[in-house]
Chains A and B, each alone.
Chain A
Amino acid sequence: MLGVLKAIQTTVKAALRRPVTVQYPTEKKTLPHRSRGLPVLLWDFDISEPFCTGCQVCARYCPVDCMTVTMKDNPNFAAGKSKRKKIVDKFYIDYARCMRCDICVEVCNFDAIVMNNTWQGVELSRYDRQDLVMDLPALLRQSKTGELETPFREPMGVAHSGWAPKMDEEEERAAEAASLEKHHGTSPDKPSAPTPTADPTAEVPAGSQARTERATAEAPESHAQAGEGGTAPSAGQKPAEAGEGPEKEGGEG
């Protein structure tokens, strides 16, 4: 009896709330940044060529053999525009066969392939199964047109890869620090003012410079940690960086 009143109250409350329905094809929820659709290739805007060199490591590691890759000599290298001697010639991914395991992304040495985190990595209905075999232009299309705004990679985060060139130095350093803290549990000391005013190493990419500065600042600390048998997983990594740091500093002086 009281349950009846409770039920009536529940429906009224539900009616007063906003409906939860999303009118899907016309109106879409934003996908999470880590959404893992099907793999696509990335486009190097600096040189206007794909990052992929056609090295076939992804095809070899693919557990379901859904990839076919061939390699050719890079004409841009001959023209002196690119550092890549070889470049991808043909690239096919059978989306019907891919199981989205992310292994191709992990093994890629050139950060050339990512999992699609847009809706187009999900909406793949086709009338013919053959249409699910994607060729190179189809795989590069989203990166080229800018639809793939923030492709997502594990585990190093945003500052790790070459495809995030639009950041300025400050942003990159912050992103790097955040990534490091997230994955290694250390918070790097931020130097209040960047040391060099006239820097001969300004030519090197911003990321590596940030790494150098941090390594310099942290060097004694991390040595101490390593001496104590430090708990941080990066304990083995840091002395190497610290050793690299002073060399470059010395080069400056």
Chain B
Amino acid sequence: MSLVLISHNPWLESLARLAIIALLVPVTVIILTWVERKVIGRLQMRLGPMRVGPYGTLQGVADTIKLLTKEDVRPQTADRWVFELAPFVIVVPVFMAVVAIPFTADLFIKNLTLGLFYFVAVSGLSIVGFVMAGWGSDNKYALLGGVRAAAQLISYEIPLVMAILAVAMLSQSLNLAVIVGAQEDTPNIAYQSLAFIIFAIAGLAELYRQPFDIPVAESEVVGGPFVEYSGIRWSMFQLGEFVNLVLISILGSLIFLGGWQWPWSVFDASVPVAAQVAMMAVKTGTFIFFFMWMRASLPRLRIDQMMSFCWQLLLPFAFLQIIINGLVLVYDWPNEILIPLSGAAAAGAVYLTYRAARATGVRYQPGYQTVGSVL
């Protein structure tokens, strides 16, 4: 009865869909905090949380309760409205981006024709939240962190968008469902390996996770923009961070790994929804695990390394990928030619990074001078 009512009223229906998102996303985040602590623990020969519930499974719930019941402190000298609204400015765009993400061919909140464009536009908004938090806290570390966040997120937004754009060129669409549908035979990672590498690195930087945690570096700016936040506002930042992690992972698996498509056409005609969801979960989980793995493995970059890597390497190579795609499209070459071209460009990018890293290693030897750039 009520279901019928909902399905006949577009307003009620969209409200129901949004309610599902609003309930599902925090639960995912709670689970993900536990998973992250477990994974990083194992990568460091520890056990991770073990006490709350069997194998610590209720740790996320306990943390949530603790965070929600903590006092919400605001510094006396803080800019009141800027300080208190900053978490919302970070969380709301993140939830808005979830709206446009298709989870399977039929399971989505809203399938936008310009879904990819909408996603990029909305997720870029969260920079404002960081700057607001940094400015409103009236704390020099918060301000430094906010400025760093702005610099980093804006810089890495460009190669990220360029990598996404390369895929959109190839698929001739900005509709995420269409992009996934075009990867039925071969996922885009084969054609666009350079774009994929750029997307993975820039996505990692967008999430300001290690090794790109320069804005929130604990040992440099004591948590950056979050330094004055506590309780529920701080947990909103955390929520935004983890939802962003899931979003970038889902986006990566949609546009590069073929989304809910099964490889080698395991199912002949129609894939059951459960199998599609499982495929999405596997691909997204791979991405999330990659991000956690990098976090456990790599130390933090210096800010100049981070910047020059973006502007001197990622961005030119992102343009290179777009030029290659353009040539292939203009002259109507077969898509297969993209595999060696993009692969060679990726190898070139890796080689340049390798050479630059070696050059920095000998920079300070006496009698040896290099130009002040990483590359």
Contact = CB atoms under 8 A, between A and B. Distances in A.
A12 B356 CA distance: 26
Given A7-B298, A8-B293, A23-B50, A14 B357 contact: no
A7 to B, nearest CB: 4
Nearest to B360: A1
Nearest to A3: B357
B43 A1 contact: no
Interface residues on A, range: 10 to 19
B370 interface: no
Contacts of A4: 297-298
A17 interface: yes
A15 B43 contact: yes
A151 to B, nearest CB: 34
Interface string A1-21: 111100110111011011111
Contacts of B311: none
Interface string A109-126: 000000000000000000
Interface string B352-364: 0110111000000
B47 A19 contact: yes
B110 interface: no
Contact of A14 (B45, B299, B354): B45
Nearest to A22: B47
A2 B358 CA distance: 9
Nearest to B298: A7
B296 interface: yes
B45 A17 contact: yes
Contacts of A1: 350, 353-354, 356-358
A179 to B, nearest CB: 39
B45 A19 contact: yes
Contacts of A19: 41-42, 45-47
Contacts of A3: 357
Nearest to A8: B297
Interface of A: 1-4, 7-8, 10-12, 14-15, 17-21, 23
B44 interface: yes
Nearest to B357: A1
Nearest to B292: A11
A3 B298 CA distance: 9
Nearest to A23: B50
A18 B299 CA distance: 24
Contacts of B298: 4, 7
5 contacts: A1-B350, A4-B298, A7-B299, A14-B45, A21-B50
Given A19-B41, A19-B45, A21-B46, A11 B358 contact: no
Contacts of B357: 1-3
Contacts of B45: 14-15, 17-21
A189 to B, nearest CB: 51
Sorted nearest first, the 5 A-B pairs with minimum C-beta distance are: A1-B357, A1-B354, A7-B297, A21-B47, A11-B297
Contacts of B47: 19, 21, 23
A44 to B, nearest CB: 43
Nearest to B211: A4
Nearest to B42: A15
Given A1-B357, A19-B41, 15 more contacts: A1-B350, A1-B354, A2-B354, A2-B357, A3-B357, A7-B298, A11-B296, A14-B45, A15-B42, A15-B45, A18-B45, A19-B46, A21-B45, A21-B47, A23-B47
Interface string B34-48: 000000011111110
A80 B212 CA distance: 82
A78 B45 CA distance: 63
Contacts of A8: 293, 297
Interface in B203-257: none
Contacts of B41: 19
Contacts of B46: 19-21
A4 B297 CA distance: 8
Contacts of A2: 354, 357
Counting chain B CB atoms within 10 Å of each CB, which of A2, A8, A15 scores highest?
Answer: A15
A203 B80 CA distance: 92
B297 A10 contact: yes
A14 B353 CA distance: 26
Interface in B17-49: 41-47
A21 B56 CA distance: 14
Interface in B288-318: 293, 296-299
Contacts of B353: 1
A10 to B, nearest CB: 7
Contacts of B350: 1
A18 B45 CA distance: 7
Contacts of B358: 1
A195 to B, nearest CB: 59
A12 B292 CA distance: 12
Contacts of B356: 1
B193 to A, nearest CB: 18
A21 B51 CA distance: 13
B352 to A, nearest CB: 10
Interface string B163-174: 000000000000
A8 B292 CA distance: 11
Interface in B339-375: 350, 353-354, 356-358
A26 to B, nearest CB: 10
Nearest to B295: A11
A20 to B, nearest CB: 5
Contacts of A18: 45
B97 to A, nearest CB: 29
A11 B293 contact: yes
A91 to B, nearest CB: 39
